[in-house]
Structure 1
Amino acid sequence: MPSRSTPSSSARAARRLLSDDALHASTVVANNTMNRERGLTGVNSYTRELGFDPLTHLSAFAASPSWLDLCSGEGRALRTAAAQLPASAVLTGVDLVGPLSPSPPPPPPGLELVKASVTDWEAPRAYDLITCVHGLHYLGDQLRMLARAASWLSPGGLLAAHFDPGSVRWTDGSPASRPVLAALRAAGFTYDSRHHRLTLRGPRLLRLPFRYVGADAEDGPNYTGQPAVGSYYEPAHE
């Protein structure tokens, strides 16, 4: 498994931390292919990566189930789910690049694929399921994204996202993983270290005690073996 080395203070200082706009233009973020071929079930699937079947979770919301997928890539899993859920279901996929196919089929009724930065996009409603399958690896302020997504959950809703604690650091380059995980757990998240998954049930407003400083798009590969982004923070002072 690839390991991520912690940069020294001098090494971090030599790297220019990027704003979100600059980060979006980087090749690591704009051209990532993490969810391009991933389907709903099977070997390369959301069910395998998340450790549960999204349709099984959504079946508890029989009247009008809703699923928001952040960093959705081609939206293959959402398309499959739309065909198996009630016509009243609401499915939304948000991706910076969007589908790469030159002639993608139109989304089925109930599914909206949005081409936008997930860090700027605002959810128009609450969702019963919010997923971010390996998407946080390409965001700068990962903690703000988690806090925003937590506020978009419906009562009984579930948030599931892959998270690499090694990607969060203090401004001097030292690891911030322990205090960050402690704050997330105190906020109600559960972290599965074996599968690098964060989960949260039910909506809440979070105020995590960290201030985002910037991102490093040249952080190198993380546990997935793919190039990823390093996120830098400092303690937030009231």
Structure 2
Amino acid sequence: MTAPHLLPALDLERTSVVANNTMNRERGLTGVNSYARELGLDPVAHLTARSATPSWLDLCSGEGRALREAGSRLPAAVLTGVDLVGPSGPAPAPTGLELLTASVAHWSPSRTYDLITCVHGLHYVGDQLGLLARAASWLTADGLLIAHLDPASLRGADGAPAGRAALAALRAAGFRYSARHHRLALHGPRTVRLPFRYLGADPAAGPNYTGQPAVASYYEPVPVAAAVAPQ
């Protein structure tokens, strides 16, 4: 197998597959098409049970509809959404809500969060493993990270499947993966180093398990064992 022409981050983000103006546009907090259904938990109930002043970071947040709905129920919460395209227009935002238009590949927060989510957003990120490793350090002591991951989108330098090796490294770093739901979860902050070097991404990989066009991320192994250091 041979790898296709791979794009670096800036070129990748200019493609129509990645600059996705339909991602999480209509998905609300609860109900049929909701964060609660996709994540397997009600974000507001989860946050309320853990803190009087909770914080939630949603990566690839789209219009931020779920965060807006959460803000009306959690007036003391800090709610942050980050999306490459961002909201389509100005709209009233609850106190404590910030919607940022930025690349999750480069953005980093100035604080930690009780809940970090990425609902089907990794499908459009070039360095998926790199974002997961960075986000692991953004959690509070009792924080939870949940993201959808498609192992089939992870490839080796020659184009061969790398999902099994990547999942093994993620599990060694403390992540749990549900193959049935394509959900990756991590409890508590830590420094994660994964034994892979990112090479670039292919936006022409075709549809993934969602039926939508997605990105394939290419990596090569590096001689460094995955390291985990609880913070």
Q: Bin the TM-score by the shorter chain.
A: over 0.9
What percent identity do the matched residue pairs reach?
68
Q: Does 1:225 align with 2:214?
A: no
Distance 1:64 1:234 in 2: 41
Q: Which of 142, 148, 161 is 1:175 aligned to?
A: 161
Letter in 2 for 1:98: G
Report the CA distance between 1:32 and its aligned residue.
4.4
Matches within 5 A, 1:38-77: 38-77=27-66
Superposition deviation, residue 88 in structure 1: 2.3
Shift of 1:63: 2.4
How many residues align? The count is 224
Q: TM-score, normalised by structure 2?
A: 0.95
Query: Structure 1 stretch 18-27 or stretch 57-66: which is displaced more?
Result: 57-66
The corresponding residue for 1:4 is none
- Alpha-carbon deviations, 1:12-57, whole Å to 9, x = none? 2xx3100000000001011341201000000000000001100111
- Indicate whether 1:149 and 2:138 are aligned: no
Distance 1:182 1:237 in 2: 15
Residue 188 of structure 1 is matched in structure 2 by 174
Distance 2:157 2:12 in 1: 17
| Structure with higher strand content | 2
Q: 2: CA distance between counterparts of 1:185 and 1:224? A: 23
1:28 counterpart residue number:
17
Deviations 1:73-107 (Å, cap 9, x if unpaired)?
Answer: 0000000000001x32100000000012x4x3131
Amino acid corresponding to residue 180 of structure 1 in structure 2: A
- CA distance, structure 2, for counterparts of residue 108 and residue 228 of structure 1: 32
Q: Which amino acid aligns with 2:182?
A: H
Correspondence for 1:111: 97
Alpha-carbon distance in structure 1 between the residues aligned to 2:174 and 2:103 = 26
Partner in structure 2 of residue 235 of structure 1: 221
* Distance in 1 (alpha carbons) for counterparts of 2:104 and 2:112: 15
Q: Write the distance in 2 (CA, Å) between the matches of 1:31 and 1:55.
A: 26
RCO higher in 1 or 2 (8 Å CA, sep ≥ 6)? 1
- SS of alignment partner, residue 27 of structure 2: coil
CA distance in 2, matches of 1:78, 1:147: 24
- 2:85 matched to which residue of 1? 97
Equivalent residue number for residue 82 of structure 1 = 71
**Secondary structure at the counterpart of residue 27 of structure 1:** coil
* Consecutive aligned runs of 4 or more in structure 1 exceeding 6 Å deviation: none
